[in-house]
Amino acid sequence: MTQRVLIAGAGLLGLGVARQLAASGCHVSLFDPRAPGVETSLVSAGMLAPHAELRHDEEDLLALGRASQALWPRWVEALVSESGVAIDVRMPGTLVVAYDGDEYAAARHHLDTLERQGLQVDHLDASDLRDLEPDLSPHLVGGGLIHGDGQVDNRALLDALRLRAEALGVTILSGIGLQSVEAVQGRVAGATDTAGDTHPCDAVVIAAGSWSRSIRLPDLPPLPVRPVRGQLLAFASVDRLGRRLRLERAVHAPSVYMALKADGTLLAGATMEERGHEREVNTGALFEHLREARRLLPQLDELPLRDIRIGFRPTSRDNRPLLGETEIAGLFCLTGHARNGVQQAPASIEIVAAAVLGQSLPAYAEPFSPKRFTTRAAR
Ligand code: GLY
C-alpha cells in the first residue's frame, strides 16, 4: 500500500528524504513556512569535513560522518544525472592551521588521533603551507592536510533536489508549516498545518531544522533542538586591481574557516551565537569574525564584502542529530545536525528513509535514535 508521508521542513534534509521516499513509491508532501531551501541549508558553506572539527569523544559522530563522506560522490552523481543541474563537489582535503606553538601542538594531537583511526594526514610546516596555499597568512607556523575532506556547492545541490523532488511528484507547500502532529493509539494519524488544515497520513518526518522544537507532537515533549546562530561572510575573490585570491582547499584556523566556492565567492564561516532566531547582524561578533578572517587571508583587506548571511544550526542537547522513529509509530526525526547538516546529509537521509520504509538500519545509526530524548525515562 502506498504510504502517505508528510515532511516538515524543505531544507536540504527535507528535500533529500522527500526525493528518496518519492522514488520508493511514497506519496510525499513537504511543508515549509517560508520556501524550499532558503534558510540554513542555503547559508551553509558546504564543508564536507567530518574530521576537521571533531572532538575526541565523538566516535559515533565520526562513524556517521565517514559513512556519509563515502556516500557523497555517488549521491551527487545520481542527483546530477536525474536533475540536469551541475553540482560542484571537490575533495582536495582540508587544511588545519596554527599560528603558534600551543595551537600547533593541539592541532598535532588532533591529527595524530585521526591518523591512529586510519585517516591519511600530511603534517605541514610553515614552508609546506606556503607551497600549498601561498595566499594564507605568513604568520602560520604549520598544520596538517586531512585527505578525503572537501566541499560542495550547496546552493546548486538545493536546486537539484527541489527539481528532482518536484519531478517525482512531491507536493511542496511554501508559506505553510506543520504545526502539530496527531496520533491515535500511539500511531501517527495526521498533522495540522499553520493554515489550520488537517492532513491524514501514515508517517510524518520532522526535518524543520532549528524550528523543529515548535511543532507540537502527540504525547511527546518538544524536540530538544535549539538554534546556534552563525554569521557567514561572502566576499568577491578578485580585488580592484584584478588580483585573484588563490585557495585550493578549505582552511580551518582555530576561530574561522574559509573556502573559495566554484563561482568565485570566498566564504568566511562562521560565528557561534546563542541568540535564538534573531536576524539582525551582531556587530561585535561580526568584528571579531572579520578580524580572524583577515588574519588568515591578509588579502581580504582588498576584497569586496558582498554579503552577510545568517543561519541557525539546529543543535540538540548532546550535539548529535536525531535520526529515526520516535516511540510514536510513524513519527520520524531528521534534525539536530548542528554544524554538520550538509556533510551528514546523505547518510542521515538514507537512515531516515530506511526507517520510514520499514527497512533495517545500519549499526552506526543506533546512537542517534530520537528515543534517547523522547522516552519517558529520558525526559
Ligand atoms: N560546519 C561549519 C559551521 O557550522 O559553521
Give per-residue pLDDT as tens, 259-283. Answer: 999 999 999 999 999 999 999 999 9
pLDDT in tens, 168-227: 999 999 999 999 999 999 999 999 999 999 999 999 999 999 999 999 999 999 999 999
What percent of the chain shows pLDDT beyond 90?
A: 93
To test the pocket of ligand 1, the residue of 40, 69, 292, 339 to mutate (highest count of ligand atoms within 8 Å of its CB) is: 339
**Of ligand 1's atoms, which has the minimum distance to the CA of residue 270?**
5
Measured in Å, residue 269 CA sits from the centre of ligand 1 at 7
Nearest CA to ligand 1 atom 3: 339
What percent of the chain shows pLDDT beyond 70?
A: 99
To test the pocket of ligand 1, the residue of 96, 256, 258, 340 to mutate (highest count of ligand atoms within 8 Å of its CB) is: 340
| Phi-psi sector, 48: left (phi>0), alpha (psi -120 to 50), beta | beta
State the residue for C-alpha cell 491515535.
Answer: 184
Nearest CA to ligand 1 atom 5: 270
For residue 52, name the pLDDT band (cuts at 50, 70, 90): confident
To test the pocket of ligand 1, the residue of 252, 257, 289 to mutate (highest count of ligand atoms within 8 Å of its CB) is: 257
Closest-CA residue to 218 (of 66, 327, 322, 67): 327
Model confidence at 375: pLDDT above 90: no
Residue type at 244 in one-letter notation: R
Contact 140, 98 (CB under 8 A): yes
Q: What is the pLDDT of residue 17?
A: 98
Measured in Å, residue 149 CA sits from the centre of ligand 1 at 14
End-to-end CA gap in the chain: 35
Asked which of 88-92, 113-117, 339-343, 372-376 is least confident by mean pLDDT, the reply is: 372-376
The partner residues of 180 in beta bridges, in order of sequence, read: 192, 216
Q: What is the pLDDT of residue 53?
A: 79
Mean of pLDDT over the chain: 96
3-state SS record for the chain:
CCCEEEEECCCHHHHHHHHHHHHCCCEEEEEECCCCCCCHHHHCCCEECCCCCCCCCCHHHHHHHHHHHHHHHHHHHHHHHHHCCCCCEECCCEEEEECCHHHHHHHHHHHHHHHHCCCCEEEEEHHHHHHHCCCCCCCCCEEEEECCCEEECHHHHHHHHHHHHHHCCCEEEECECEEEEEEECCEEEEEEECCCCEEECCEEEECCHHHHHHCECCCCCCCCEEEEEEEEEEEECECCCCCECCCCCEEECCCCEEEECCCCEEEEECCCECCCCCCCCCHHHHHHHHHHHHHHCHHHHHCCEEEEEEEEEEEECCCCCEEEECCCECEEEEECEHHHCCCCHHHHHHHHHHHHCCCCCCHHHHHHCCHHHHCHHHC
Contact 240, 41 (CB under 8 A): no
Q: What is the pLDDT of residue 379?
A: 67
Closest-CA residue to 215 (of 9, 4, 43, 368): 9
**Of ligand 1's atoms, which has the minimum distance to the CA of residue 269?**
5
Ligand 1 environment, Cβ below 6 A: 47, 230, 269-270, 313, 339
When computed from its CA atoms, the radius of gyration of the chain, rounded to whole angstroms, is 21
Model confidence at 152: pLDDT above 80: yes
pLDDT in tens, 61-105: 999 999 999 999 999 999 999 999 999 999 999 999 999 999 999
**Of ligand 1's atoms, which has the minimum distance to the CA of residue 342?**
1
Model confidence at 250: pLDDT above 70: yes
Contact 251, 136 (CB under 8 A): yes
Model confidence at 56: pLDDT above 80: no
- Neighbouring CB atoms inside 10 A of 186's CB total 12
Distance CA 164, CA 85 (A): 10
Model confidence at 377: pLDDT above 70: no
State the cell numbers at 283. 556587530
Distance CA 284, CA 295 (A): 17
**CA-based angle 327:229:154, to the nearest 5?**
80
Measured in Å, residue 317 CA sits from the centre of ligand 1 at 17
* Helical pair 154-167 and 12-23, crossing angle rounded to 10 deg: 30
Closest-CA residue to 65 (of 356, 272, 348): 348
Measured in Å, residue 84 CA sits from the centre of ligand 1 at 28
Nearest CA to ligand 1 atom 1: 339
Measured in Å, residue 154 CA sits from the centre of ligand 1 at 13
Distance CA 204, CA 190 (A): 8
Nearest CA to ligand 1 atom 4: 339
Closest-CA residue to 191 (of 26, 7, 376, 2): 7
